[in-house]
Amino acid sequence: MADTETHTDIREAVRKLCARFPGEYWRKLDRERAYPTEFVKALTDKGWLSVLIPEQYGGAGLGISAACAVLEEIHRSGCNGAACHAQMYTMGTVLRHGSEAQKQRYLPKIASGELRLQAFGVTEPTSGTDTTRIQTFAQRQGDKYVVNGSKIWISRAEHSDLMVLLCRTSLRDDSAKPSDGMSVLLVDMRDAKGRGLTIKPVRTMLNHATTELFFDNLEVPAENLIGKEGQGFRYIIDGMNAERILIAAECIGDGKFFVDRASAYAKDREVFGRPIGENQGVQFPIARAHVGVTAASLMVDQAAKLFEADEPCGSEANMAKLVASEASWFAADVCIQTHGGFGFAEEYDIERKFREARLYQVAPISTNLILSHVATHVLGLPKSF
């Protein structure tokens, strides 16, 4: 098959870096639910987390397809980019909507890794996907905002210096549209911890450093407002296409990991006096997984191209994320089945990647919500909510 992979130099360099972080490294962290500090530092030192930051602010100024190549290779190598992928794109809110002073102040330090902006606070326990119903409220008092409320599933909050926080600055009922009246604050976590911000880790089926946040009269300087008060929902939506495309690239990497591992094992493992891969009952699911991952990869490439050309790409980004997350999950299931009992043994890394791959049909947006977007925005079907 023709090799259509782009950014081959980036891919090779990332693969080389990832080879220093083999399965044992991730297994140990997984058992302890610990953060991959050394891995994140290695990526930061090589500049892989700042590829999307423009050169004038100290990054590489590359397009999203380069960032996709980085994340895909991380995942294909059996590593997990979820510990730091948000350092790549959360800064987009500051870049697109922040003032020049905010960009000068934060972006160069984010590019160098001196500052970590990889916490993104949107989801709340009672609002779920219906973001306009968030209740965390930031009350303006002179030159500061006073924040009260809570968030759930805020990943990497303990490993972040800054957080992009979406909160209400007007009540939903007092706003012209439900999506009005929300604002984005850049919260300095270093100042906030213990002074109105409490972070509580949430243990999950995967090692994801996710947390619950509680705000109790947290004071945030008014100068940390990003863009205009009341327009925050739009700013968050603006960042979602990049997130969807990058997560989809991680799914492609996961899918390739599973297909590689399943193929290798099926060639090697002998039962009934021959490699199990000689049986079509074993080969066909692996071949189907490969077809699915390849097809999804083309959709991710298309969404990335549109994004890089500054064309509308909301539907393409969503659809790419949907098919990529389903393709990787199918491949994960096939990989377990191909390995038989050994698929469940920790030392093969399949069960860990299986757990990690499952997340992406739920976060950062669940499959049903993407289908709803396609049904109503692309196909013109009536809205159900």
Ligand X SMILES: Cc1cc2nc3c(=O)[nH]c(=O)nc-3n(C[C@H](O)[C@H](O)[C@H](O)COP(=O)(O)OP(=O)(O)OC[C@H]3O[C@@H](n4cnc5c(N)ncnc54)[C@H](O)[C@@H]3O)c2cc1C
CA distance 240 to 230: 18
CA angle 304, 352, 362 (to 5 degrees): 50
Give the one residue of 17, 94, 299, 359 binding ligand X; rule: CB under 6 A: 359
Give the one residue of 134, 154, 248, 296 binding ligand X; rule: CB under 6 A: 154
Amino acid (one-letter) located at 195: R
Q: What tokens appear for 318 in the block?
A: 């969503």
The distance of closest approach from Cβ of residue 153 to ligand X in the complex, given in angstroms and rounded to an integer, is 3
Restricting to residues 74-133, name those near ligand X by CB under 6 A.
120-123, 128-129
CA distance 49 to 114: 12
- Residue 237 or 362: the one with the smaller Cβ distance to ligand X is 362
Q: E-assigned strands of the chain?
A: 117-121, 137-141, 144-155, 162-168, 182-188, 197-201, 210-221, 225-226, 270-271, 274-275
The distance of closest approach from Cβ of residue 243 to ligand X in the complex, given in angstroms and rounded to an integer, is 10
The distance of closest approach from Cβ of residue 287 to ligand X in the complex, given in angstroms and rounded to an integer, is 30
The stretch near ligand X (CB under 6 A) out of 306-314, 327-335, 348-356, 363-371 is 363-371
The distance of closest approach from Cβ of residue 380 to ligand X in the complex, given in angstroms and rounded to an integer, is 18
Contacts of 254 (CB under 8 A, 6+ apart): 75, 76, 328, 331, 332, 353, 356, 357
The distance of closest approach from Cβ of residue 371 to ligand X in the complex, given in angstroms and rounded to an integer, is 8
- Residue 7 or 208: the one with the smaller Cβ distance to ligand X is 208
Restricting to residues 180-239, name those near ligand X by CB under 6 A.
204, 208, 210
CA distance 161 to 147: 18
Contacts of 309 (CB under 8 A, 6+ apart): none
The distance of closest approach from Cβ of residue 245 to ligand X in the complex, given in angstroms and rounded to an integer, is 16
- Residue 272 or 385: the one with the smaller Cβ distance to ligand X is 385
The distance of closest approach from Cβ of residue 242 to ligand X in the complex, given in angstroms and rounded to an integer, is 14
Q: Residue with CB nearest ligand X? A: 128
Cβ proximity of 299 and 319 under 8 Å: yes
Q: What tokens appear for 80 in the block?
A: 């997990």
- Residue 315 or 366: the one with the smaller Cβ distance to ligand X is 366
- Residue 335 or 365: the one with the smaller Cβ distance to ligand X is 365
DSSP 3-state of 122: coil
Task: State yes or no: residue 364 binds ligand X (CB under 6 A).
Answer: yes
Interacting residues with ligand X (CB under 6 A): 120-123, 128-129, 153-155, 204, 208, 210, 359, 362-366, 368-369, 372, 385
